[in-house]
Amino acid sequence: MKKLTFRIGGIHPADSKISASCQIETLPLPEKMYVSMAQHLGAPATPIVAVGDKVKAGQVIAEPSGFISAYVHSPASGTVTAIAPRADIAGNMMTHVEITVEGDEWMEGIDLSNTLVTEIPSDKAFILDRIKMNGVVGLGGATFPTHVKLAPPPGKKAECVILNGAECEPYLTSDTRIMIERSSEIVVGAAIISVALDGCPVVIGIEENKPEAIQAMTQAVETLRKTVPACACIKVETLKKKYPQGGEKQLIDAVMRRQVKSGALPIDAGAVVQNVATALAVYEAVQKNKPLVTNVLTVTGECQKEQHNYLFRIGMPLSFVAQQAGGVPEQAAKIISGGPMMGKAIANLEAATVKGSSSLLYLTEEQTKRPAATACIRCGRCVDACPMGLEPNLLFKLAKAGEMEQLEANSVHDCIECGCCLYGCPAGVPLLDLIRPAKGDVIRIIRSRK
Amino acid sequence: MSSTILWTILVLFALGVVLAVMLYLLASKFKVEEDPRIDEVEKVMPGANCGGCGFAGCRAFAQSCVEAGNLDNNFCPVGGNDTMKQVAAVLGLEVKEKAPQVAVVRCNGTCENRPRTSTYDGIASCRVQSMLYTGETGCRYGCLGCGDCVNACSFGALSMDPSTGLPVVDESKCTACGACTKACPKAVIELRNKGPKGMRVYVSCVNKDKGAVARKACAAACIGCGLCVKTCTKGAITMENNLAYIDYEKCKLCRECEAVCSTGAIAGVNFPKALDKDAIKARIKERQAKAAEAAKAAAEAAKAAAAEKPETKEA
């Protein structure tokens, strides 16, 4: 079978998917949960409950406060005991709704059964409304509100939906597990996305290092195709194992052989990219009316005794998750949320899980040690590795000198911060460390011009 | 042979003369009219081109002074009042004298005061660090210690103290250009009046967290107890978001606030004598006792007056 991949750059880090064979386990509920109001890209949500209110699981507790914003639901039943600022994983304060858990009672109208509902509503507006009201956001990392992405601006048409099952980040296996264990639901979710975009064809891209997932997904598509007409346009494609295969622009290049112009959105190239976990959330929102309050997270690392894939509810403190998995291993020097390439180091383990949480990755001192930076020898490895076709060594130099015009001329704003340039640098130059703030500055300058 | 040399010299000389005449004519034809006073003003400027005045350099500042026709909004922090007087003399304008200022580091989160909770191993830049997270300690307001301010200073007035991990200002070199205040992503550095003989009192903390949280993160944090505000008789101290701030225009350097501060967040510098906390506290106590007595007496007097009033009415 032909394997697809993107054409420029990329690297091959060890995939370290040591938790790939661990079945998804459901976490018990902690005593207290802290639901952040900023779990999505865009404006933070506004709480609509008050201290002392009784809430049920799945009840709306916060409303969107802008066009790009999302509803937030209660992950458990209990009493709202505080609405106060609390530190997130980076230590920044954000309003959290504290819920003291009492039992586990869900809102009426939410279908909690496991039966597969395959009748897909034909009304587009109904689908988008369900997705919006159930607070679904993109679970591939950026947490962009899904209902906004599924309503392309007038004049632009989606020609292909790409379902991202690449999971190219090393260590992460949450997407792998849901593709194996909940393949039929994901396929129905994909069909719903297709219906919402006027029957646009769907390609599910999965990296070759997940043969079980590819098999499960192919089988699910084959089976459902016979009974559900909307599933006829769904296809599973194998992608080469190469980082960052799951990058939005890289996937579009791999699957559609199209490149997204600098500054343009995927929809300009006729593509809509959604994560497989988002498709699952869409399925639950539309078919079961279940809000996005659960997601799957991987607890892994070489120093972690037992690897786990957990079905968690948003608002559980990360320390609680760590404790359920046997506590933070002694050798762990750094804990990362997300993958080792693009994830963020956790400075505050008391922070709560959010919709987009995907892992607790423990790295040892040795694994995290950064080499002492020596002078750039212009070997060009970073240029070869950059999947966006940029020259990281040049951008680094320009960023150091603060040459904003030159940075813009060299398209620093196209950087996707994947870290490929850093990965292979033999001189250990902290390329991305300086390119990232420079990118922010240039984007600000470009915006101020408009 | 000699004629070749002669001809070469002659041709080059002639060429030089022709081109010089052309250049002269072109230069006079396309001459840019510029106020000659700009050059004169520029001559009296310090020439550091630091940008502390808000302009791109000394010449841009001079141009602005000449064009504006007054010196109300222009001030060269490096040259200070002397330079501004000279500028005023050149332009025949008047200038208001400004109190000399100095950069003040408002953080006392030394290694002992502020325990580290994590280790930052990225590039040594406060700006990059502040983009990633709130810093290596529990305090999310204080100095990050990567020395962006030191790099921003064109006068070599700032240096990092390795024992405390905090920047130190060399007052003799600081020109109050403000480059460090702009470079600091946490706005820890503030320009304050230098004060008489360099004596000044300031709150050496920028933590806006509630008392318990701030205290847990740093032993020298302002906990917002408000004792200094109550003690100050000049009304120089304000409390906002659990953080005290001393207005240097109103402060009379009595050091009472410094004496009562329980965490030592208020710093007094360049005073000839060490702070005698007990003496000042005794002084405050005495004053407060007197005030209480006076208040009591006033209350009694008011009571007596109130008691008298009905009598007069009856009469």
The amino acid sitting at B207 is: N
- The answer to whether position B288 is within a domain reads no
CA–CA separation, A4 and A66 (whole Å): 38
- The answer to whether position B283 is within a domain reads no
Q: Give Cα separations from B50 to A108, A136, B54, B154 (angstroms).
A: 66, 51, 9, 7
Average pLDDT, chain B: 90
Q: Are B249 and B126 found together in one domain?
A: yes
Over residues A414-424, mean pLDDT: 93
A430 → closest Cβ in B117, B123, B132: B123
B122 in contact with A, Cβ within 8 Å: yes
Please provide residue B251's backbone torsions phi and psi, each rounded to the nearest 5 degrees. -65, 130
- The answer to whether position B236 is within a domain reads yes
Examine the fold and report which residue of B27, B56, B91 is the final residue of a domain before the chain moves on: B91
The shortest C-alpha distance from B118 to chain A (Å) reads 7
Over residues B272-298, mean pLDDT: 90
* Chain B residue at shortest CA distance from A434: B128
**Chain B hits for A419, Cβ within 8 Å:** none
The shortest C-alpha distance from A180 to chain B (Å) reads 35
Q: Are B257 and B109 found together in one domain?
A: yes
Pick from B191, B164, B182, B50: nearest CA to B126: B182
pLDDT tens profile A54-107? 999 999 999 999 899 999 999 999 999 999 999 999 989 999 999 999 989 999
- The answer to whether position B12 is within a domain reads no
Q: Give Cα separations from A326 to A19, A23, A303, A305, A345 (angstroms).
A: 15, 17, 12, 8, 20
Residue B1 burial by Cβ neighbours in a 10 Å radius (0-12, 13-18, 19+): exposed
Q: Are B126 and B225 found together in one domain?
A: yes
Mutate to test the interface with A, among B133, B209, B213 (most CBs of A within 10 A): B133
A376 has a pLDDT exceeding 60: yes
- The answer to whether position B45 is within a domain reads yes
B315 has a pLDDT exceeding 50: no
**Chain B hits for A93, Cβ within 8 Å:** 140
Report the 10 Å Cβ neighbour count for A346: 24
Examine the fold and report which residue of B269, B288, B304 is the final residue of a domain before the chain moves on: B269
Mutate to test the interface with B, among A335, A429, A434 (most CBs of B within 10 A): A434
pLDDT tens profile B183-217? 999 999 999 998 888 899 999 999 999 999 999 99
CA–CA separation, A444 and A408 (whole Å): 11
pLDDT tens profile B109-164? 998 999 988 999 888 999 999 999 999 998 999 999 999 999 999 899 999 999 99
B314 has a pLDDT exceeding 60: no
Q: What pLDDT is recorded for position B312?
A: 53
Q: What pLDDT is recorded for position B50?
A: 84
pLDDT over 90 percentage in chain A: 92
Examine the fold and report which residue of B70, B91, B112 is the final residue of a domain before the chain moves on: B91
Domain count, chain B: 2
* Chain A residue at shortest CA distance from B135: A91
Q: Are B265 and B141 found together in one domain?
A: yes
CATH of the domain at B196: 3.30.70.20
B208 in contact with A, Cβ within 8 Å: no
B313 has a pLDDT exceeding 80: no
Pick from A432, A415, A417: nearest CA to A373: A432
CA–CA separation, B191 and B99 (whole Å): 11
Q: Are B242 and B168 found together in one domain?
A: yes
| DSSP H stretches of helix in A257-347 | 276-287, 318-324
Over residues A230-240, mean pLDDT: 93
Q: Are B177 and B226 found together in one domain?
A: yes
Q: Are B179 and B59 found together in one domain?
A: no
- The answer to whether position B162 is within a domain reads yes
Q: What pLDDT is recorded for position B73?
A: 82
Verify whether the Cβ–Cβ distance A90 to B122 is below 8 Å.
Answer: no
Q: Are B67 and B142 found together in one domain?
A: no
Q: Are B87 and B108 found together in one domain?
A: no
Q: Are B106 and B237 found together in one domain?
A: yes
pLDDT tens profile B20-29? 999 999 999 9
CA–CA separation, B190 and A175 (whole Å): 49
Contact status, residue A380 vs residue A433, Cβ threshold 8 Å: no
pLDDT tens profile A333-358? 999 999 999 999 999 999 999 999 99
Lowest mean pLDDT among A114-128, A162-176, B139-153, B293-307: B293-307
pLDDT tens profile A250-269? 999 999 999 999 989 999 99
B250 has a pLDDT exceeding 50: yes
Q: Are B161 and B238 found together in one domain?
A: yes
Verify whether the Cβ–Cβ distance A347 to B121 is below 8 Å.
Answer: no
Verify whether the Cβ–Cβ distance B133 to A433 is below 8 Å.
Answer: no
B140 → closest Cβ in A91, A345, A440: A91
Over residues A319-323, mean pLDDT: 96
Neighbouring residues of B116: CB distance < 8 A, sequence distance ≥ 6:
B136, B137
Q: Which of residues 130-149 of B touch A (CB under 8 A)?
A: 131-135, 140
- The answer to whether position B296 is within a domain reads no
Verify whether the Cβ–Cβ distance A430 to B127 is below 8 Å.
Answer: no
ipTM of this model?
A: 0.86
Mutate to test the interface with B, among A349, A433, A434, A439 (most CBs of B within 10 A): A433
Q: Give the angle subtended at the CA of B130 by the CAs of B128 and B132, to the nearest 5°.
A: 75
The amino acid sitting at A403 is: E
Q: Give the angle subtended at the CA of A104 by the CAs of A178 and A183, to the nearest 5°.
A: 15
State which residues form the domain around B126.
101-269
Average pLDDT, chain A: 94
- The answer to whether position B114 is within a domain reads yes
CATH of the domain at B43: 1.10.15.40
Q: Are B146 and B55 found together in one domain?
A: no
CA–CA separation, B160 and B146 (whole Å): 9
Verify whether the Cβ–Cβ distance A433 to B122 is below 8 Å.
Answer: yes
